[in-house]
Structure 1
């Protein structure tokens, strides 16, 4: 079994159940911390709808927080989820861009990894 994270009719990610639950919990914590909606909808029996506008703003905010952070542990925690957020946004063609040299460098590094974001049918 796995989850599906969808934007409209397109599945942008299909992780295993435990991975999805950890991801959703982390996103919720970041959404609460930064007081910004994540765009990640409710878990409806393993199907999660993504609001592309809210999600794009959320990813941009987490990227900005990571780029300006000077805290080792915060960096490590954000580095655990931000590459997945960027890969999901890229797969959904949401146009995440870096507004500062630090943000652009981070995006370049993450995108060079080419994280596989396989949907269940792939």
Structure 2
């Protein structure tokens, strides 16, 4: 079994139910943390629609927050989710604002990890 994250009739991501459930639970946590809707969901009949405009705001806000923090534990707890959100956002055609003063090394590491994860995410 799997679930579908769609933009119109295009499937952006088709993860297993287990991966999707974990992602959606984390999504709820970060929506509350940021005070923003993610543009994803609701999941109905194993399908949800993605709103690229809302996802863009959410993804870029999450990225900016990550790039500003120097707390190693917060980064570790956030990174996997952040990578999945950024990969999904890029698939949705969202422009990611990678530039953040003082963080060029972190940006390059994240960009590489997003590319690697994107190759693993089923469509």
TM-score (norm. length: structure 2) = 0.87
Matched position secondary structure for 2:59: helix
Q: Which residue of 2 aligns with 1:84?
A: 84
Unpaired segments ≥5 residues, structure 1: none
Show CA shifts across 1:21-49 (max 9, x none): 01011011100111011111101021111
| CA distance in structure 2 between the aligned counterparts of 1:103 and 1:20, rounded to whole angstroms | 30
| CA distance in structure 2 between the aligned counterparts of 1:9 and 1:104, rounded to whole angstroms | 36
* Coordinate RMSD, CA, aligned: 1.6
Q: Which residue of 1 aligns with 2:56?
A: 56
| CA distance in structure 1 between the aligned counterparts of 2:94 and 2:30, rounded to whole angstroms | 19
| CA distance in structure 2 between the aligned counterparts of 1:55 and 1:105, rounded to whole angstroms | 25
Unpaired segments ≥5 residues, structure 2: none
Residues 64 and 103, structure 1, Cα contact 8 Å, conserved in 2: no
Superposition deviation, residue 107 in structure 1: 4.3
